[in-house]
């Protein structure tokens, strides 16, 4: 009974967003207020408040839990989201995005190769750099411009925007997950460990998703599709594993997608027989190419130079200008590095690239102001979701839900762990939000199942609890392709009014297979 009552906030969020079509920001706000009420009056009555808070005022407990959630939301999640989208908006303002589009569409006449390059390569790069819908909208719109049907363009864009979302917006989903499951903030080791686990759990999908995309484009080219999917998937997977284990969450999607683009280009140059029609193509000089890509180049260089790849720089940044604020009652300490966060490097790289592309400081400020205004509802959503997750945790509700899930599923729970993450993304439209809602829950279930030690998972050693927590993000990437928000973005980009249901029906079988495979990977690798 405690578990059923404790899960009411999650149910309320689902009902508001899916049943009554209430906007996400308003749904999150209403659900947060309901969560606070339940924590204040319901949790004490049920006796689920943790013993360590028994002598504290429930009002103080909820208040400081809310404060922690709000701080985590702003520093650094919202800052990273803001700057990630800012970087993309600069490309649009400077029209450099048109150069990038043209370069992608001019190197081959093979429709399968072109589609894979768009949705897996370029789409993955957009997801890694900016996320939040850009990786669906831009590739889908380009494909339609190239003559592909709207339904096809929407579907393959949604399929391509699955695996990379675990590390979208410079790794925000995974870093958020790690911070949720780690008391006092996640260590660099934990981030690398969970990042590696997420890639390993997704490993088969690095091959299957490109293959499905290629088959949807040309179902007769079996041999070509198998070879190209295996080649591209192997390169993407290998690079992402290397980035995850050595550098953490910021670079796998970015560098992995760049590697995929290079792999596809190599395939075209070495194996593909071009039959390009004779037409005048726009040629871009090395200087034009560098300027067009400068925002992403600068961001990538800054992230690499300040990360684990350069220990002296990384060590200095981690130990200087770091705010540490003790939070009474809940016994937590909020930490934030003012010069050691991805948002700063996103902003610096974006401004430097924007100036090189010809934008004035005034124009850059205008783009920033517009970006801030456009994210006002996202801000409310993220703050409320993280705050309610924090309140649910400290009031004992997550612990009660975890106990209920263990009682129902027992030792088979890991098989269903990705499904929990997928449900979170389906409702919220965000891998990050799903990890906020259910990351702590997954870790609690792991402890209740006795997964308190370490183990080796497909050759990777680490915490059993972290393995199960990573499963949340694994499932969340599958739920991404059928979330109403993602589908709405796809329909808008493809100018398909009222086609949401049709796209959802097409995407559901792929999503279910995706999530089931993730569950099997998590369960049988334990």
pLDDT tens track for 10-32: 889 888 877 888 888 898 899 99
Tens digits of residue pLDDT in 425-462? 887 778 988 898 889 899 989 998 999 999 999 889 99
| Cα 238 to Cα 233: distance, rounded to the nearest angstrom | 8
Residue from 209, 94, 90, 208 nearest 161 by CA: 209
Mean pLDDT, the chain, rounded, equals 89
Banded model confidence at residue 45, pLDDT cuts 50, 70, 90: very high
Is 437:489 a contact under the CB 8 Å cutoff?
Answer: no
Tens digits of residue pLDDT in 343-379? 899 899 999 999 999 999 999 999 999 999 988 888 8
Does the pLDDT at position 191 exceed 90?
yes
Does the pLDDT at position 276 exceed 70?
no
Does the pLDDT at position 408 exceed 70?
yes
Question: What would the mean pLDDT of 143-153 be, rounded to a whole number?
Answer: 88
Is 432:383 a contact under the CB 8 Å cutoff?
Answer: no
Strands 322-327 and 454-457: unpaired
The pair of three-digit structure tokens given for residue 443, joined into one six-digit string:
């870790």
Collect all residues with Cβ–Cβ distance below 8 Å to 453 and sequence separation of at least 6. Answer: 463, 464
Does the pLDDT at position 322 exceed 80?
yes
Percent of the chain with pLDDT over 70: 97
For position 328, what pLDDT does the model report? 92
Question: Which residue in the block uniquely carries the two structure tokens 């709000």?
Answer: 70
CA angle (419 as vertex; 416, 423 as ends), nearest 5: 145
**3-class DSSP state of 333:** strand
Is 514:212 a contact under the CB 8 Å cutoff?
Answer: no
| Cα 190 to Cα 175: distance, rounded to the nearest angstrom | 9
Does the pLDDT at position 260 exceed 60?
yes
At 180, give phi and psi (nearest 5°): -70, -35
Question: What would the mean pLDDT of 187-202 be, rounded to a whole number?
Answer: 94
For position 207, what pLDDT does the model report? 98
For position 269, what pLDDT does the model report? 87
What is the H or E stretch that residue 106 is in? none
| Cα 397 to Cα 11: distance, rounded to the nearest angstrom | 13
Q: Which string of DSSP letters, residue by residue, matches 199-236?
A: HHHTTTHHHHHHHHHHHHH-TT-HHHHHHHHHHHHHHH
CB count in 10 Å sphere of residue 271? 11
Question: What would the mean pLDDT of 185-199 be, rounded to a whole number?
Answer: 92
The pair of three-digit structure tokens given for residue 341, joined into one six-digit string:
């966060």
For position 349, what pLDDT does the model report? 94
**3-class DSSP state of 497:** coil
Does the pLDDT at position 501 exceed 60?
yes
Collect all residues with Cβ–Cβ distance below 8 Å to 137 and sequence separation of at least 6. Answer: 157, 489, 490, 492, 493
pTM over 0.85: no
| Cα 373 to Cα 214: distance, rounded to the nearest angstrom | 39
Beta bridge partners of 325: 334
Tens digits of residue pLDDT in 211-226? 999 999 999 999 999 9
**Domain regions of the chain by residue span:** 2-272+286-524
| Cα 183 to Cα 180: distance, rounded to the nearest angstrom | 8
Q: Where is pLDDT greater, at 326 or 133?
A: 326
Banded model confidence at residue 231, pLDDT cuts 50, 70, 90: very high
Question: What would the mean pLDDT of 326-332 be, rounded to a whole number?
Answer: 90
| Cα 166 to Cα 187: distance, rounded to the nearest angstrom | 18
Does the pLDDT at position 185 exceed 80?
no
For position 274, what pLDDT does the model report? 53
Question: What would the mean pLDDT of 128-150 be, rounded to a whole number?
Answer: 82
What is the H or E stretch that residue 323 is in? strand 322-327
| Cα 395 to Cα 398: distance, rounded to the nearest angstrom | 8
For 312, how many CA atoms within 13 A lie in the half-sphere containing its CB? 0
Question: Which residue in the block uniquely carries the two structure tokens 């075209």?
Answer: 268
Q: How many angstroms from the chain centroid is the CA of residue 525? A: 23
Does the pLDDT at position 245 exceed 90?
yes
For position 524, what pLDDT does the model report? 94
Does the pLDDT at position 116 exceed 70?
yes
For position 377, what pLDDT does the model report? 86
Does the pLDDT at position 385 exceed 90?
no
CB count in 10 Å sphere of residue 3? 18
For position 41, what pLDDT does the model report? 96
For position 464, what pLDDT does the model report? 94
CB count in 10 Å sphere of residue 305? 12
Does the pLDDT at position 264 exceed 90?
yes
């Amino acid at each position: 009974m405690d578990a059923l009552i404790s899960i009411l906030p999650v149910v309320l969020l689902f009902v508001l967003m899916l049943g009554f079509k209430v906007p996400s920001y308003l749904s999150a706000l209403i659900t947060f207020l309901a969560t606070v009420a339940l924590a204040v009056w319901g949790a004490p009555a049920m006796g689920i408040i943790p013993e360590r808070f028994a002598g504290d005022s429930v009002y103080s407990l909820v208040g400081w839990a809310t404060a922690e959630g709000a701080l985590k939301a702003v520093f650094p999640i919202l800052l990273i989201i803001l700057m990630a989208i800012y970087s993309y908006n600069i490309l649009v303002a400077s029209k450099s995005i048109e150069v990038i589009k043209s370069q992608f569409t001019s190197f081959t006449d093979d429709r399968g190769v072109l589609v894979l390059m768009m949705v897996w390569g370029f789409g993955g790069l957009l997801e890694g750099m900016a996320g939040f819908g850009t990786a669906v909208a831009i590739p889908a719109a380009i494909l339609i411009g190239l003559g592909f049907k709207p339904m096809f363009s929407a579907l393959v864009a949604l399929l391509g925007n699955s695996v990379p979302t675990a590390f979208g917006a410079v790794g925000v989903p995974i870093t958020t997950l790690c911070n949720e499951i780690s008391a006092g903030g996640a260590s660099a080791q934990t981030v690398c460990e969970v990042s590696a686990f997420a890639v390993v759990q997704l490993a088969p999908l690095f091959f299957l998703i490109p293959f499905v995309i290629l088959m949807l484009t040309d179902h007769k080219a079996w041999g070509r599709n198998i070879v190209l999917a295996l080649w591209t998937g192997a390169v993407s997977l290998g690079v992402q594993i290397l980035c995850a284990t050595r550098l953490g969450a910021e670079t796998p999607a970015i560098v992995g997608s760049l590697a995929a683009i290079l792999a596809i280009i190599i395939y075209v140059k070495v194996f593909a027989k071009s039959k390009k029609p004779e037409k005048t193509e726009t040629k871009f000089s090395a200087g034009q190419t560098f300027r067009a890509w400068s925002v992403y180049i600068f961001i990538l260089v800054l992230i690499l130079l300040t990360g684990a790849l350069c220990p002296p720089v990384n060590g200095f940044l981690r130990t200087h200008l770091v705010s540490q604020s003790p939070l009474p009652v809940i016994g937590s300490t909020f930490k934030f590095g003012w010069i050691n966060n991805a948002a700063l490097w996103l902003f610096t790289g974006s401004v430097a690239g924007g100036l090189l592309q010809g934008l004035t400081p005034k124009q850059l400020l205008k783009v920033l102001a517009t970006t801030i205004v456009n994210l006002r509802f996202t801000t409310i959503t993220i703050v409320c979701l993280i705050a309610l997750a924090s309140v649910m945790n400290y009031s004992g509700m997550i612990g009660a839900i975890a106990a209920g899930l263990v009682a129902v599923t027992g030792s088979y729970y890991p098989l269903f762990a990705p499904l929990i993450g997928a449900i979170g993304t389906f409702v919220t439209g965000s891998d990050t939000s799903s990890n906020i809602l259910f990351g702590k829950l997954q870790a609690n279930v792991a402890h209740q199942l006795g997964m308190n030690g370490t183990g080796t998972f497909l050759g990777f050693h680490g915490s059993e609890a972290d393995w199960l927590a990573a499963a949340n993000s694994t499932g969340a990437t599958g739920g991404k392709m059928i979330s109403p928000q993602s589908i709405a973005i796809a329909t808008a980009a493809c100018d398909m009014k009222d086609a949401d249901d049709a796209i959802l029906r097409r995407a559901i079988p792929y999503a279910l297979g995706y999530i089931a495979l993730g569950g099997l990977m998590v369960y049988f690798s334990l």
